[in-house]
Structures are given as structure tokens and as C-alpha cells.
Amino acid sequence: MKSRRINDGVFWMGAIDWDRRLFDSLIPLPDGTSYNSYLVRGSDQTVLLDSVDPPKAEILMSQLNDVETVDYVVAHHAEQDHSGAIPIVLGKYPNAKVVCTPKCKGMLMDLLAIPDGAFVTVEDGETLSLGDRTLEFIHTPWVHWPETMCTHLREDKILFSCDFFGSHIATTDLYATDQGRVYEAAKRYFAEIMMPFRKIIQKNLDKLKSRNFEIIAPSHGPLYDRPDFIVNAYWDWVSDEPHNVVVLPYVSMHGSTDLMVTHLVNALAEKGVTVHQFDLCVTDIGKLAITLVDAATIVIGTPTVHVGPHPLAAYAALLANILRPKARFASIIGSYGWSTKVVEQIAGLIPNLKVEVLDPVICKGRPTQVDFASLDRLAETIAAKHRELSLSPPVALRLESR
């Protein structure tokens, strides 16, 4: 794709990766992604903000064909999907300086062997004049590594946010027009890489309140010309309050755990609790991650395999432990044939979750009426716990201003 005009002197550049289906060898990308780079021309100097993933470097370099001079390359984030082509850009513009946080400088030297002399490091709130335009650098750690920052282009009221507010979507839409689609993709992205750092992201969002921006230009997915839409969504995702939601990832080998899951889901639904049920044999783990953003309770369903949990259930527990959702309660249900240690072993996999563990329901063989009664009690306990916290239903788009 060719570069695209945002306004006089500010351009989208970069590459759309329609066919990418996996990120970090872990994260499913059902809708592809983009690596957004931006060119800002000031009256005195020109700056490129971020680059692209190295396999797409040729596209960025062709967009830079008519750009004679680049004085600065801003690196918001050292991860290679944004920084990887910077050495190639510097090959064309050897006098350009790389502008980044001090932490990012060290990472770029380690990852890309960019020499020490090529850097200008910037502190939080520092500005850089391009003549008639001013860049203000805002340190916003953990979106998604510790070295990350955003850039506020003051005169144009544009916030360049890199991963922050980004979405993995390949689209020709320059701006987010299909808000429902972008909301889900941005939530997926938040869940997979930023959720563990939501307390710090609350502070980053607070910092942005004093900045005047009408456009957010992230480095993945479309731009936002109605920033309230994504900023309000982030406030909901990072808040300390979960919603009236249970997430239930499970595996069943011969149907017993499946019967228990069905019974529990029905019992919870009758009590007005929203439940997301995921068969781990077929589910997209990104969908599971999205629902963990809102979940007040996580219930893991697993049969017993060689005394422990099914490996797929262990994987789901490990994933939840890594993503550190704000869930308050957890439980385990499932069946075994002759002996089991699933409760102890699953509990050992989730030390990061600050949850109250509700009585598990583990049955021998097929569930009986006694086991179904135990599941009814678990459903009642979960619903009562949610009621005590006055949890609200999950929200989708929240368009009003805070």
C-alpha cells in the first residue's frame, strides 16, 4: 500500500500484513495485522515514527522513495515488529538520530546492534521541535514492554501510541469505522499483552488526560478519529472491578466433565450470570483471553490424566496465571477414574491469581445426582459472591465521555 495523508505534513506509512495468523509464536491473529509507521514533516526537520516488521521493510522503503531527508526516527518500543526495520532506514538516512527512552536505547542496542552514537534519549515530558511542529514524548511503560513511550504531536492534536490502543486488524480503513470489530480486536490485543500491567496502564491513561488529542495513531490497526471510544474501553478493561462473568475453559475425554460443564453453565445462566464456555480442544485462545478481561470467576473443567489435569487444562491455567486477570474467585470441576490430584496441581499453576478458591466439584466416573447437586451449590455460591460485589454486566462499546 502507498503512504496515506492524515493531514498536511503528517502521513501514515507502513505495511498491512493480511495473512499473518500468529504473533510471538503464540497469539492467534484471525484478522491479520498492520505495522504502522508515520512520517511527520516540520518546517525544519522530518521525523519517522516507528518502522515495520523486517519482512515488510521493502514496503516502507518504497514509501520513503521520495523522502530525501529523515532527521529523526522515533522508536516508541523496541519490539521488532516496530523497530526491526530501523537499521534499514538508517542505511538510507545515516545521519538520522534514533529518539527513544533510555531503557529502549539499551534494548535496541542489544536486539538490533544499533551503535551508541545513533541515539538521542528523551525523558518523560521532553519535547523536540521540528520547526512549526512539536513532539512531546510521554513515557508510558508496559504497553507493552517496560521501555515504551507515546508521542504527542501538539499542534496537530495527534497521539502516536504504538502498541497502546492498537488492534491486530488488516484493513484498508485508515480510521476505525467498524467500531464493534475494532473493539474486539483491541480488547484481544490488550488481553494478550497488556492485561498483566493494568495497574500501570491506569497511570498511563491518567497521564494522557492532560494532553489534547483528537486522533490516536497506534502502530497496529486503524487510527481513531473518535479517541473516546478506545480510551473509555481501556478504562473499563484496566479498572479494578470485574463484571458479572464466569469464564469456563474445559476439556472432556469421555463426556463426564462435559456433563458437569453443561449443568454448571445452565445453573449459572438461570441465576443471571454471563458464562463463557470454551472447549480447549477447539477454542481460539485469543477469545478465551478476551473474556478473562471481564471475568469475576474462573472455573477450570478437567478430567484426570495420569493423576493430574489434562495438559490442555493445565495450559489454560498457566495462561490465566501469566495474564493475571482481575478475577476474584476460582474453582475446578471434573472427573477421575481411580485417583486424582487435579485440584492441588491446578492450584499450583495459578499463584499469580489473587482469588478466593471456591469448593471444587470432582466426581468419580460419570457425575451422579449428588455431583449435580454440588454443582448447583457451586453455582449458587458464585452468584451470591457476584451479588455481594454488586457486579455489573459486561459492557461492549461505551461511547460516552468519562
Q: Which residues bind ligand FEO (CB under 6 A)?
A: 77, 79, 81-82, 144, 163, 219-220
Q: Which residue has the cell 466426581?
A: 363
Closest approach of ligand FEO to the CB of residue 158, in Å: 19
CA angle (163, 164, 168) in 5-degree steps: 50
Whichever of 79 and 371 has its CB closer to ligand FEO, that residue is: 79
Nearer to ligand FEO, 223 or 316 (CB): 223
Q: Tell me which residue of 105, 113, 132 sits closest to 7, measured CA to CA.
A: 132
Q: Taking the complex as a whole, how short is the minimal distance between the CB of residue 219 and ligand FEO, in angstroms? A: 6
* Residue closer to ligand FEO (CB basis): 24 or 400: 24
* CB of 163 or CB of 258, closer to ligand FEO: 163
Q: Tell me how far CA of residue 14 lies from CA of 30, 138, 220, 365, 374, in angstroms.
A: 20, 23, 10, 56, 55
* Shortest distance, position 37 Cβ to ligand FEO, whole Å: 12
Which of 33, 61, 399 is CA-nearest to residue 218? 33
What is the distance between the alpha carbons of residues 268 and 100, in angstroms, rounded to a whole number?
49
Identity of the residue, 183 or 190, whose beta carbon is nearer to ligand FEO in the bound complex: 190
Paired sense of beta strands 22-23 and 134-139, if any:
unpaired
Closest distance to ligand FEO from the beta carbon of 192 (Å): 10
Give the CA distances from residue 46 to residues 124, 292, 306, 374, 389, in Å, rounded to whole numbers and listed in that order: 21, 42, 62, 67, 53
Q: What are phi and psi of 150, to 5 degrees?
A: -115, 165
Tell me how far, at minimum, the Cβ of 82 lies from ligand FEO, in Å: 6
**Are 261 and 334 a contacting pair, CB within 8 Å?**
no
The values of phi and psi at residue 116, to 5°, are -50, -45
Q: Of all residues in this chain, which one has the CB nearest to ligand FEO in the complex?
A: 79
Q: Are 160 and 180 in contact (CB under 8 A)?
A: no
- What is the enclosing helix (H) or strand (E) of 65? none
Query: Least distance (Å) from ligand FEO to the CB of residue 154?
Result: 25
Q: How far is the CB of 236 from ligand FEO (least distance, A)?
A: 22
CB closer to ligand FEO out of 53 and 156: 53
Among residues 194 and 280, whose Cβ is nearest to ligand FEO?
194
Torsion-angle region of 124 (φ positive above 0: left; ψ -120 to 50: alpha; else: beta): beta
